[in-house]
Amino acid sequence: MAQLSEDVFAYGKNLRSVDEALALMTERLRPLAGAETRPLALADGHVLAEDVHAAVGLPPFDNSAVDGDAARSIDLAANAPTQLRLSGRIAAGRPAPDTLMADCVVRVLTGAPTPPGADIVFMQEDVTVTDDGYVSLPSDLKVGANLRRAGEDVLAGAVALPAPTHLR
């Protein structure tokens, strides 16, 4: 049988003892001499000395995951399409209007805040807008669909980056 050239069990050379290996590591490795604070732009390659806590929740507000129409599930028919009045539009970066009115939808763009009361967002590809300002919504969407809730990724005050994360 042929001998493998990389067979770890057939090394055949003198191995270091545990004490020799520890002495070599102690000689070559230097312990950290404390922590320092530095701007994030200068922290590449460094290791966090302590946990970083989120100052705000992420996302910071309820928002739409898609371009579409925000609605209140209470206004939707159970097993049939529903027509609701289009009452406005919210672009990303704009504030949410007051509470969503009954029997209305608001057109929301991806990342835009959803109005208080909205608990479902229909993708624009799945709705039909009529000439008289109504939106026809399908009946098969679950409450919470296409909606990102405030703090869903990271809660305010929660650990966002645990120590000892290596920053890159």
CA-angle at 133, arms to 130 and 138, nearest 5°:
55
Q: Which residues have a Cβ under 8 Å from the Cβ of 158 and sit 6 or more positions away?
A: 53, 54
Q: Which residues have a Cβ under 8 Å from the Cβ of 88 and sit 6 or more positions away?
A: 97, 106, 107
Report the distance separating Cα 163 and Cα 40, nearest Å: 15
Residue 117: CB atoms within 10 Å: 18
List 89's β-bridge partners, or say none: 107
List 53's β-bridge partners, or say none: 159
pTM for this structure? 0.71
Considering the domain boundaries, does residue 32 fall inside one? no
pLDDT recorded at residue 8: 62
Q: What is the domain range of residue 120?
A: 63-148
Considering the domain boundaries, does residue 99 fall inside one? yes
In the numeric block, which tokens belong to residue 75? Answer: 């206004």
pLDDT recorded at residue 1: 57
Considering the domain boundaries, does residue 139 fall inside one? yes
Phi and psi at residue 25, to the nearest 5°: -65, -40
For residue 122, what is the domain's CATH number? 2.170.190.11
Considering the domain boundaries, does residue 144 fall inside one? yes
pLDDT in tens, 70-92: 999 999 998 899 999 999 999 99
| Number of structural domains in the chain | 1
Considering the domain boundaries, does residue 93 fall inside one? yes
pLDDT in tens, 46-76: 999 999 999 999 999 999 999 999 999 999 9
Q: What is the pLDDT along the chain (168 residues), one digit of tens a residue?
A: 566 666 666 666 778 899 999 999 999 988 777 889 999 999 999 999 999 999 999 999 999 999 999 999 999 998 899 999 999 999 998 887 788 999 999 999 999 999 999 999 999 999 999 999 999 999 989 999 999 999 999 999 999 999 999 999
Name the nearest CA neighbour of 163 among 83, 43, 26.
Answer: 43
> Can you say how many angstroms the Cα of residue 122 is from the centroid of all Cα atoms in its chain?
20
Distance separating the N- and C-terminal Cα atoms of the chain: 48
In the numeric block, which tokens belong to residue 93? Answer: 């970066």
